[in-house]
Amino acid sequence: MNGERIAIVGVGQTVHKSKRTDINTAELCAEAVEAALADAQMTMKDIDCVILGSFEPADGYSGPDKWIVPEIGAVGKAGFEMQNVGTTGGVVAATGFNMAASGLFQNVLCVAWQKMDEAAGAFGRGGGGANEYWTGQFPMSPITNFARRTYDYMTRSGCTEEHLAMVRVKQDQCAQRNKNAQLKLGLTVEKVMNDFLLAWPIRRLHMCPTTAGSAAIVVCPEKRAKKVTKKPVWVEDWFTCHQGGALTMAEDPQASTLGYACRKIYKRCGITNPKKEINAWEVYEPASTAELRWMEEVGVAEDYKAWKLFEQGKVGIEKEIPFNPSGGVTATNPIGATPVVRVVEASLQIRGDAEEHQVPGTINRALATAYGGQGENVVFLLKKTL
């Protein structure tokens, strides 16, 4: 890639909760920004570019940045707000990376948020697709969309409902070790399988929760990064991939933007065996069941065989495949901020700072993704050394 080599030099996130009545949206962002700046050992004075964003319809008002920018002390700084449904945090980070790589800015702050305790039913219609008169006429919410996709996966792979529950239990086990995660439920396969059915085969526990939370990162070009931190997390590559609404790439229901983005980025970075060459994964899965197909699309499992890895107990923090060690999105989902949480978590894994949910051994490379709409993806590859 052209441009400056860049690194994440500071990360921050709030403790994620279902409700935060003690603070407003702007103050929620300030918490994450304070944490990221403290981690980078910087003050707001150092920041010369601010990229921020949320899933704006879930805020309930337009232009939330007009409220947040003053609260985080960013008045007068270069930057702008991004919006791209659940992928928002992904495009916030990708844009921040572009700004740092351009060489025009030395200290780029990316902040994303969602205060979902304030929204009622904002998503029933969401995800139908950008086209209001075709797919938008059907009730294709994330729930129904992932129900259809999951059932499709079951019919093609032979995976059973019990395997879907195993995925959710693994996510919960990871979340219980993450001090910032929201849902820590002590789940068992039986509990998941007896949970309220939303749309076959998706039960309530399979879907991500609504969360009040924010996350922030500070990004610098190489020279500056080496000056400000001993633990830079190098951003090896990133790729954004858009598509249409309810149907997937080029209207082929089996094609996937995640697979497409990963193939592109692996080729550019010379990765031929992702399972070996990537040591930790933070992949945005709005439904626990999506994790199966997406493990296959990112290249850690063979097509339609990921469920067997759960049956064999091979997925987990200390296991062969450390997939979503933070507990992932079914434990915590401040939607617009969720992709930045993925980048923060992947960075902590590389630095060895993930505490209780740290993957053992050296994490040389981690993959983080963003997901939104019905298939937009942003994929990030982070590295320990240049």
Angle (nearest 5°) at CA 210 between 205 and 216:
125
Smallest gap from residue 297 Cβ to another protein (A): 32
Q: Are the beta carbons of 32 and 111 closer than 8 angstroms? A: yes
Q: Are the beta carbons of 153 and 304 closer than 8 angstroms? A: yes
Stretches 65-73, 145-153, 176-184, 265-273: which one binds another protein (CB under 8 A)? 65-73
Rule CB under 8 A: say whether 20 interacts with another protein.
Answer: yes
How far is the C-alpha of 326 from the C-alpha of 291, rounded, in Å?
A: 14
Maximum Cα–Cα distance across the chain: 56
Q: Are the beta carbons of 379 and 258 closer than 8 angstroms? A: yes
Q: Which of 1, 41, 60, 66 binds another protein (CB under 8 A)?
A: 60
Smallest gap from residue 27 Cβ to another protein (A): 5
Smallest gap from residue 23 Cβ to another protein (A): 4
How far is the C-alpha of 72 from the C-alpha of 68, rounded, in Å?
A: 6
How far is the C-alpha of 183 from the C-alpha of 196, rounded, in Å?
A: 17
Smallest gap from residue 25 Cβ to another protein (A): 7
Q: Which of 46, 73, 249, 277 binds another protein (CB under 8 A)?
A: 73
Query: Which CB, 35 or 354, lies closer to another protein?
Result: 35
Smallest gap from residue 337 Cβ to another protein (A): 16
Task: Identify the helix (H) or strand (E) that includes residue 88.
Answer: helix 88-101
Q: Which of 5, 17, 46, 71 binds another protein (CB under 8 A)?
A: 71
Residues 179-238 touching another protein, rule: CB under 8 A, are: none
Stretches 58-66, 159-167, 227-235, 373-381: which one binds another protein (CB under 8 A)? 58-66
Query: Which CB, 104 or 119, lies closer to another protein?
Result: 119
Q: Which of 3, 18, 38, 43 binds another protein (CB under 8 A)?
A: 43
Going by the DSSP 8-state scheme, the letter that residue 16 receives in this structure is: P
Q: Which of 57, 144, 226, 263 binds another protein (CB under 8 A)?
A: 57
Distance of CA 93 to the CA centre of its chain: 11
Task: Identify the helix (H) or strand (E) that includes residue 6.
Answer: strand 6-13
Residues 123-182 touching another protein, rule: CB under 8 A, are: 125, 132-133, 136-137
Smallest gap from residue 61 Cβ to another protein (A): 8
| 23-26 contacts at long range (C-beta below 8 A, 24 or more positions apart) | 24/115, 25/59, 25/64, 25/67, 25/68, 25/113, 25/115, 25/118, 26/67, 26/68, 26/70, 26/71, 26/72
Q: Which of 5, 17, 27, 249 binds another protein (CB under 8 A)?
A: 27
Query: Which CB, 26 or 290, lies closer to another protein?
Result: 26
Contacts of 229 (CB under 8 A, 6+ apart): 7, 9, 10, 40, 41
Rule CB under 8 A: say whether 121 interacts with another protein.
Answer: yes
Q: Using CB under 8 A as the criterion, which residues of the chain lie in contact with another protein when the complex forms?
A: 20-27, 30, 33, 43-44, 57, 59-61, 69-75, 115, 117-122, 125, 132-133, 136-137
